[in-house]
Every structure is written in structure tokens, then in C-alpha cells.
């Protein structure tokens, strides 16, 4: 059964917004009821994402410094510039997705279906080891161009994939389950990459990276990611469909977005949390390579963030239902800040102690990371309640923009900090870092998450308006409007 209604709310709107709202028709179809097929299919989408994104996020910097022979400062500047350009691409793709034609299978799935091909190609060409034989100028040009294009094609898949969540169901509990299953997908894809890659990328038992072995693993991961996107498009069904007779003018759209305090605060919190996640993944590679000098333990440490997601997943629905997304995330972030602060003070040289503490600390950002995709769907609903206009792709694009800015800042900061502390590239052979450099890497690996988790908790606690009660209220408003 289809239920079609131009959704309206009780809030005052400008004449232009009201006119556009009247030209926006929302269809809710129950032809294929939401269920396990959607959850599993959506999970595979983030498995695919992480076969590409986690490879880049965790290993591209060390590939550039230790295989291609680039300095940390060069790589940091490259990441900063490319990610800022890429962030603009997120908003652009979000706008294009919202204004694209609504097809029989929906608005978002056709984008994933088409754009997974160029993403597969550029996920591989990023890690071509023979680039090290080019002159420095050609090397820099190659890595900048390929990294920039990879980011754009990743946006062209990830933005419609993320926006799709709000179209699969209008029920808050279903959105919680989608966020949970997406996080499980990230955990599965990310943990496979984080565990397997360090086992194959080194020459024997040394800390020298084999570019050729690295390249083979990258090809395998890219193909697995491609196959995961096929599962995503086959198993999910878009039920909430927005038909527009004309696009929302950009000026009006931006004005309406600025009215959404929840979006602004979520953007800020996401920037802080993503900076923490990205710097943590980068510093872990250097920490175990140069401080603990235990590459086997690196594989274990890198999967902890994903193990936590799998541990929390069975309880997430109950936790959110009882306490709310905002409330449970705040408590977890404060807990994580306390654990990492303790770890920084301990300054341990024991791998066992460090791993045990990191497993606990991962609970901090883990709860928020698992719920962030449901946070975004809450914000999309809130935007519709406030303005009467639904723009899934643009709202998701704005949030993704903030994450890319955070990734740019993290990449730039991480590379620059490595240079400032005196880190020496080991492209020409195994280089043993000084004790001072190794200790600085340790304090980066523990101090950054302590500060970021604490700051994110404070901002979320005092400024984010969508508590448990408001989320339920917004869902009722939209449901009642759509079924009149």
C-alpha cells in the first residue's frame, strides 16, 4: 500500500519555502516491509566502504612515507589540500543526489550502482609501488591527483549510501538498527583490513614495508569492496521517496539548514570525533612500529575499535530505547576520555597493558560512532519538521563535509607533527627512531583521544537539542503528517 502526502508541520515558514513544500510529494511504500534483508544489505555497504576507506585512512600515510619516500610534512599538506577539496565534493554530490531523477528502485541506489566502478579503479592506483622510481615532482603530482580523484569517487558512492538510510524506513527503531548494522559492517570491513594488511606488508620480520606485497593486498580488498556494493543494491529497498517538481534554491536551502541547531552541533561533534579516529588510526601504525616495535600487536590494536562495535551491537537497541542516543553517547565519551588520560599518565612500555586499556578506551568513541548514522537521520527528520522540506542528500552531505574537514585537519596535523618530533622516513631501509621521537609518538597516541573524547562529550551534553524525548516527538509529527 502506498501513502502519498506532501508533508506539512506546524512551524511557520517563508512563502517561498511553503510554495516549494507544496511541490514536494513524499511517498511511503510498504510493498516490501522493512526487515533483516535491509539490515544485512545496508551492513554490506559499509563493509564495502571500509575495504577502501580504512585502507586509505590507516595505511596510505605510512605507504607514502615508507614506500614512496615522501616526508611527513609533504603528506600532511597533501592530505589537507585534497581533503578540503573533497569536502566540497561531498556537498556537491549531496545536492546532485537530491535533485537527481527518482527511479523505480529509488534515488540513492542508482548512484552506488554506477559509481562503484571508478572507485574500484582508484582504490587500487593509489597504492602503485613503482611510483617510487619517478622523480620527486612526478611522484608528488601522481599522489595528489590520484588521492584527489579517489576522494571524489568515494563521495559519489558514500553520500548516496549514507543518505539511503533515511529512505529505508520512517521508524526510529529501524533507524537505530540500520546505524548499528552499518557500524557492524564498518567493524567487519575495517577489522579485516586492519588485521590482515600488517601481516603481509612487511619484509619478513623487519619493519621495512614491501610495496609489491602491499599492492597485492590492496587489489584483493578493492575487489571485495566492489562485491559488497553489489550486495547492498540487491538487498535494500527505498520506501520513503521524495518527488520534487523543482529543486530547492541553494540560498533558501542554506538558510533553512542554519535553522537546524542539531545539524550545526552534530557537525562540530563529528569533527572532533573524526579527528580523534583518524589520528588514532595513523598514530597506532607508528606507535607499534617505532615505540613498541611489535608489528603483530599492531594488527590486534587496529581491530579493537571494531571489536567494541561488535560487543556493543547486541545491546545498542536496548541502550538507546532506555536512555536515548544523546544521553548514552555522552556517558561513553566521558568514560573514554578518562581511560586515555590514565593511559597517558601511565606511559607504559607493556604491550599487554596498553592493549587492555585501549580496549576499554575504545568504548568512549565507540558508542557515538555506532550511533552517528542514526544521529544523522534524526537531524534529517528535524530539518523536515523545522522547514517542511526534506533534503536527505544535502543534510548528509553537510555532515560528510564536516567529516572530510576533520580528516583533512587530522591528516595535516598528523604529518606535520611527525616532522616536528623528528620522525625519519624508513623508505631506504629500516630506520630506528630515537627514544625522544618514540615517546612523542606515545603521547600523541594517548593524549589526542583523551582531549577529543572529553571535548565531544561536553559539546554534545550542553548544546545538542535532540534528546530521547524530542526524537520521539519528531517521528510522531512526521508520521502523523504523512498518514493524514
Give the CATH number of the domain where residue 63 resides. 1.20.1250.20
Asked whether the beta carbons of 80 and 408 are under 8 A apart, the reply is yes
User: How buried is 244 (Cβ within 10 angstroms: 0-12 exposed, 13-18 middle, 19+ buried)?
Assistant: middle
Asked whether the beta carbons of 333 and 453 are under 8 A apart, the reply is yes
Coil, helix or strand for 24?
strand
Asked whether the beta carbons of 80 and 405 are under 8 A apart, the reply is no
> What is the tens place of the pLDDT at every residue in 233-289?
999 988 877 776 566 666 777 777 778 899 999 999 988 988 888 787 778 878 887
What are the two backbone dihedrals, phi and then psi, of residue 171, each rounded to the nearest 5 degrees? Answer: -95, 130
Phi/psi region, residue 204 (left: phi>0; alpha: psi -120 to 50; beta: rest), is left
What are the two backbone dihedrals, phi and then psi, of residue 341, each rounded to the nearest 5 degrees? Answer: -65, -45
Which residues in the chain show pLDDT less than 50?
1-12, 20, 22, 428, 483-484
DSSP-assigned states of every residue in 308-334: HHHHHHHHHHHHHHHH-HHHHHHHHHH
Which domain, by its residues, includes 388?
A: 2-482
Cell digits for 76?
600532511
Largest CA distance in the chain: 70
- To which H or E segment does residue 2 belong? strand 2-5
pLDDT of 12 reads 47
pLDDT of 95 reads 84
Phi/psi region, residue 293 (left: phi>0; alpha: psi -120 to 50; beta: rest), is left
pLDDT of 214 reads 83
pLDDT of 11 reads 46
User: How buried is 424 (Cβ within 10 angstroms: 0-12 exposed, 13-18 middle, 19+ buried)?
Assistant: middle
Instruction: Please state the domain count of the chain.
Output: 1
Give pTM, 2 decimals.
0.71
CA distance 310 to 393: 28
Coil, helix or strand for 242?
strand
Amino acid at each position: 500500500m502506498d501513502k502519498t502526502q506532501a508533508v506539512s508541520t506546524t512551524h511557520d515558514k517563508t512563502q517561498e519555502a511553503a510554495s516549494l513544500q507544496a511541490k514536494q510529494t513524499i511517498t511511503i511504500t510498504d510493498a516490501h516491509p522493512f526487515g533483516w534483508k535491509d539490515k544485512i544489505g545496508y551492513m554490506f555497504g559499509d563493509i564495502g566502504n571500509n575495504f577502501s576507506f580504512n585502507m586509505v585512512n590507516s595505511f596510505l600515510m605510512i605507504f607514502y612515507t615508507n614506500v614512496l619516500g615522501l616526508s611527513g610534512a609533504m603528506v600532511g599538506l597533501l592530505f589537507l589540500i585534497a581533503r578540503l577539496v573533497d569536502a566540497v565534493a561531498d556537498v556537491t554530490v549531496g545536492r546532485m543526489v537530491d535533485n537527481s531523477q527518482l527511479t523505480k528502485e529509488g534515488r540513492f541506489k542508482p548512484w552506488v550502482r554506477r559509481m562503484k566502478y571508478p572507485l574500484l579503479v582508484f582504490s587500487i592506483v593509489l597504492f602503485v609501488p613503482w611510483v617510487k622510481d619517478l622523480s620527486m615532482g612526478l611522484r608528488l603530482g601522481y599522489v595528489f591527483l590520484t588521492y584527489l580523484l579517489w576522494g571524489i569517487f568515494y563521495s559519489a558512492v558514500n553520500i548516496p549510501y549514507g543518505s539511503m538510510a533515511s529512505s529505508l524506513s520512517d521508524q526510529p527503531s529501524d533507524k537505530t538498527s540500520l546505524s548499528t548494522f552499518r557500524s557492524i559492517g564498518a567493524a567487519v570491513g575495517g577489522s579485516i583490513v586492519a588485521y590482515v594488511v600488517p601481516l603481509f606488508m612487511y619484509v619478513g620480520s623487519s619493519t621495512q614495508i614491501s610495496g609489491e606485497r602491499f599492492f597485492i593486498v590492496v587489489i584483493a580488498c578493492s575487489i571485495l569492496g566492489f562485491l559488497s556494493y553489489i550486495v547492498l543494491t540487491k538487498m535494500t529497498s527505498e520506501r520513503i521517496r521524495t518527488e520534487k517538481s523543482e529543486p530547492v534554491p541553494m540560498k533558501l536551502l542554506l538558510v533553512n539548514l542554519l535553522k537546524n541547531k542539531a545539524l550545526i552541533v552534530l557537525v562540530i561533534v563529528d569533527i572532533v570525533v573524526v579527528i580523534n579516529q583518524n589520528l588514532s588510526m595513523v598514530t597506532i601504525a607508528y606507535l607499534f612500529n617505532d615505540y613498541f616495535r611489535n608489528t603483530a600487536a599492531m594488527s590486534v590494536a587496529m581491530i579493537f575499535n571494531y571489536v567494541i562495535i561488535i560487543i556493543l551491537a547486541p545491546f545498542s537497541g536496548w541502550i538507546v530505547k532506555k536512555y536515548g542516543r544523546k544521553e548514552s553517547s555522552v556517558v561513553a565519551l566521558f568514560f573514554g576520555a578518562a581511560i586515555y588520560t590514565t593511559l597517558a599518565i601511565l606511559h607504559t612500555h607493556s604491550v599487554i597493558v596498553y592493549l587492555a586499556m585501549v580496549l576499554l578506551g575504545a568504548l568512549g568513541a565507540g558508542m557515538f560512532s555506532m550511533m552517528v548514522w542514526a544521529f544523522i537521520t534524526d537531524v534529517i527528520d528535524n530539518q523536515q519538521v523545522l522547514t517542511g522540506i526534506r533534503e536527505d542528500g544535502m543534510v548528509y552531505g553537510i555532515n560528510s563535509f564536516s567529516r572530510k574537514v576533520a580528516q583533512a585537519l587530522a591528516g595535516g596535523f598528523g604529518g606535520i607533527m611527525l616532522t616536528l618530533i623528528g620522525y625519519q622516513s624508513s623508505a631506504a631501509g629500516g630506520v630506528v627512531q630515537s627514544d625522544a621521537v618514540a615517546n612523542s609518538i606515545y603521547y600523541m597516541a594517548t593524549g589526542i583521544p583523551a582531549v577529543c573524547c572529553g571535548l565531544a562529550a561536553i559539546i554534545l551534553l550542553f548544546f545538542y537539542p535532540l534528546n530521547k524525548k524530542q526524537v520521539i516527538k519528531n517521528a510522531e509529527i512526521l508520521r502523523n503528517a504523512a498518514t493524514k
